[in-house]
Amino acid sequence: MQVDVLEVSDADFDPLPEDPTGRLHVLSHSWAAETASALRIRARGGASVTVAVAEPGPLIAMKLQSAIDRGTRKEATDLLDIVRLSTDRACGATARAQLAAAGEVLRRDAVLHLDLFFDQRVQRTSKLIREVPEGRDAELDDLVLVHELLSAALRN
């Protein structure tokens, strides 16, 4: 298991970055930290640790931002995670409701990234996702649906 530990300090907000990608990084990571749920993880040997786990809406926002700065393989898995989180029967509606309730600046910056990956470059996104073994079943229609669902939530 891999656990990513992410930090955002108060200094990141003063002032917020001017570019949408930098701003989305700060705002989405802060949102994820503020709304995270505690989860206890226990190893087979009995040792355990409690960690803060991000909610699905903030995860989508973070992944929209992080896909910009990643290598191709990690970009593909981030984009596939967005598809899965957005359409999952258990957490999709929650993720979309959380995104709809997010702050205006975060929503505006997330829309720019959403449109880039799931509209303007949707063919490229489809190709990247399908090159990952777990993404081989993803269809272009799935990506169009994700764009529609998340766009409706973010542009509420």
Predicted confidence (pLDDT) per residue in 23-37, tens digit:
999 999 999 999 999
Please state, in angstroms and rounded to a whole number, the distance separating the CA atoms of residues 60 and 82: 6
Residue 10 has pLDDT above 60, yes or no: no
Distance CA 37, CA 90 (A): 16
Give which of 86, 71, 66 is closest to 131, Cα–Cα. 71
Preceding peptide of 15 cis, ω within 30°: yes
Q: Which residue from 91, 71, 153 is spatially nearest to 118, judged by alpha carbons?
A: 153
Q: Answer whether residue 57 shows pLDDT above 80.
A: yes
pLDDT of residue 91: 95
pLDDT of res. 4: 58
For residues 79 and 64, the answer to whether their CB atoms sit within 8 Å is no
Predicted confidence band of residue 112 (pLDDT cuts 50, 70, 90): very high
pTM for this entry? 0.89
Of 1-10, 20-29, 132-141, 145-154, the one with minimum mean pLDDT is 1-10
% of the chain surpassing 90 pLDDT: 78
Name the residue among 126, 136, 129, 144 with its Cα closest to residue 76: 129
pLDDT of 45 reads: 83
For 49-63, what is the mean pLDDT?
Answer: 94
Is it the case that residue 94 has pLDDT exceeding 70? Answer: yes
Short-list 27, 126, 123, 116, CA closest to 76: 126
Beta carbons of 51 and 97 less than 8 angstroms apart: no
